[in-house]
Structure 1
Amino acid sequence: MIVITTPTGDIGRQVVDRILDAGEAVRVIVRDPARLPEHVRAHVDVVRGSHADADTITKALDGADRMFWLVPPAGFRDAGDAEHYYLEFTRHAVQEAARRDVRMVNVTSLGRGYPGEAGLLSAALAMDEMIEAGGVPHRALALPFFMENLLRQAPAIKERGTISMANAADQPLPTVATRDVADAAAAVLLDTSWTGQARLPLVSPDNLTPDAMAEVISETLGRTVHYRQVPLADFQATLVQRGASPTLAQDMADMVKAQNDRIYDAEPRDAHPTATEFRRWCRDVLKPAVQA
């Protein structure tokens, strides 16, 4: 039995589909089962609740031997600093997985060894240390910037021909597509031969700057798209104006500062041989979103 968390999220829903296609028994943890597609509800065991809750985790792991673990974003609610949120969210799962010898495949950040503060990325790396210290057999999918983050820019691309972020315009920003994350997660979950603990960096063969990303987007769409770098202080202030807590805004700003300081280069990595190139992702995913 494979337990999958965040089954309605960008990555989790794709993992569910791949595991079901492989014919494995699946149990999902979900707050609102009505959000599951009908084809999923008909073929999975559902545990209703939050995977941060001890009783929910205990129930979900009964009879299971593998688990896909992803900490969902806190959103704009005040959940304290990111590290506290990640660790408290994960603590019960680590204890129960260790007790039952359940193998975990978790989503985390690339950048282990980075010496500075990195906000949300530091929190994810601290979570990895907790899992390892708990003695849980696991594989950590170590990831850089998600290409899908750019989908939030679709309206601005369509209406103004711009993408705007606080990332340095001339600093390479390694990326990964969520479909590749789901492929990698499913492959490890379906492989019953591995033991121990290891990190699996997953990076696209591209290593583009935001300026270069704008050029690729322009070529894909057949229209000029410019990159606009937002001052970090403005980025942080805008988050607060939109309802984020000051703590979350600081964690987000620290994450971008670390990305600009090349946190992803702190951890050895090679491009994944089958990972999606940015140009292909723009053609397959971003272009239809902009044209919708």
Structure 2
Amino acid sequence: MPSRPSEHPEEHAVRIVVSTPTGQVGARVVSRLHRAGERPVLLVRDPERLSAEVRARSEVVVADLADADAVVAATAGADAVHWVVPSTGDDPLAAYDAFGAVAATAVRANRVPRVVLQSSVGAEARGGFGEIDGLGRVEEHLDGTGASVTHLRCGYFFSNLLMDLEALRDGVVATQLPVEQRIPWVAPDDVADVAALRLLSTAWSGRTTQGVLGPEDLSAGDVARTLSELTGREVRAEQVPDEVVTAQLRSFGMAERRVDAIVGMARGFRSSFVPEDPRDDVSTTPTTFRAWASQELVPLLAAG
């Protein structure tokens, strides 16, 4: 005999909170939750940045992620929280520490059962990785809450190349790493897929990490060769010394601690570091660099 439907189905709805719903990963997480039939809670400073369609399918809460009281109120009753640290300002490590403390305060106050953190490969080192060290500190804050937490250890985003369009149009893939050193690269879409699946699943518990590593490790040389093939123009990889990058960032008026945080990331990857999360069937995601670049990058290069 079929069960009788609940007279109050809203009482059984899953309450999933997304902290950066306009970000390149957060916006994609929201769309996946909508497709799953969920009505997520979106924490935003400016709701006008959300489309009318997204607002209609979500519960929108205006909150500054640096405001602990606002975040505690917004996450009341949450079954799961997707936490992404927003743009970090002049002192990234201090900002990460502060945002991690806010998240932990809200998780404790509301006894949030599950948290999915967008972290990074290198955060597990807990030092020597520049800005990524801040994500390690956020991991520690959340680990201390007693909640079940998954730290998504993401590879280098393909979309970071969109910040270097001028150099790419000049035929250069600039890197602080040796041009043939391979590291994990990943599409933001794939990160969103993994995050949404983790948020929706209740099959996991405790403190866990998950690599989100793209389909293969890539070097700047690999990227340059692929772009050469896709554009029909010569593109080469070029290693830029740390001191040159430092001087460039200072010339933009960037604060010294932010400069150190940015430059320091490459130092970590140039070390003998071995990631905690190995490449396997779970950590390997499907979107190739060639597919992403064909759709996202090459049209922008041609438009320039």
TM-score normalised over the length of structure 1: 0.92
> Which residue of 1 is the match for residue 9 of structure 2?
none
Find the partner of 2:248 among 238, 254, 268. Answer: 238
SS at match of 1:199: strand
> Which residue of 2 is the match for residue 33 of structure 1?
47
In structure 2, what residue type is equivalent to 1:106?
L
SS at match of 2:224: helix
> Which residue of 2 is the match for residue 248 of structure 1?
258
Tell which deviates more after alignment, 216-225 or 178-187.
216-225
Residue 116 of structure 1 deviates from its aligned partner by 4.8
Question: Cα deviation per residue 1:7-62 (whole Å; 9 max; x = unaligned)?
Answer: 11111111111111111121111111111122111221111121121121122112
Whole-angstrom CA distance in 1 between matches of 2:206 and 2:23 = 28
> Which residue of 2 is the match for residue 99 of structure 1?
109
Would the aligned equivalents of 1:68 and 1:104 in 2 still touch at CA under 8 Å? yes
The percent of aligned pairs where both chains have the same amino acid is: 33
Residue 130 of structure 1 deviates from its aligned partner by 1.6
Residue 250 of structure 1 deviates from its aligned partner by 0.6
> Which residue of 2 is the match for residue 143 of structure 1?
154
Q: Which has more radius of gyration? A: 2
Residue 278 of structure 1 deviates from its aligned partner by 1.7
> Which residue of 1 is the match for residue 95 of structure 2?
85
Whole-angstrom CA distance in 1 between matches of 2:278 and 2:293 = 23
Would the aligned equivalents of 1:94 and 1:136 in 2 still touch at CA under 8 Å? no
Whole-angstrom CA distance in 2 between matches of 1:45 and 1:10 = 19
SS at match of 2:125: coil
Q: 1:69-218 to 2 correspondence within 5 Å?
A: 69-74=83-88, 77-78=89-90, 80=91, 82-102=92-112, 103-114=114-125, 116-158=127-169, 160-218=170-228
Gap regions ≥5 residues in structure 1: none
Would the aligned equivalents of 1:180 and 1:275 in 2 still touch at CA under 8 Å? yes
Compute the RMSD of aligned alpha carbons: 1.7
Would the aligned equivalents of 1:101 and 1:137 in 2 still touch at CA under 8 Å? no
Instruction: Tell which has more relative contact order, 1 or 2 (C-alpha 8 A, sep 6+).
Output: 1
> Which residue of 1 is the match for residue 4 of structure 2?
none
Whole-angstrom CA distance in 2 between matches of 1:219 and 1:35 = 37
TM-score normalised over the length of structure 2: 0.88
In structure 1, what residue type is equivalent to 2:195?
A
SS at match of 1:266: coil
2:279 pairs with 1:270: yes
* Number of aligned residue pairs: 286
Residue 173 of structure 1 deviates from its aligned partner by 2.3
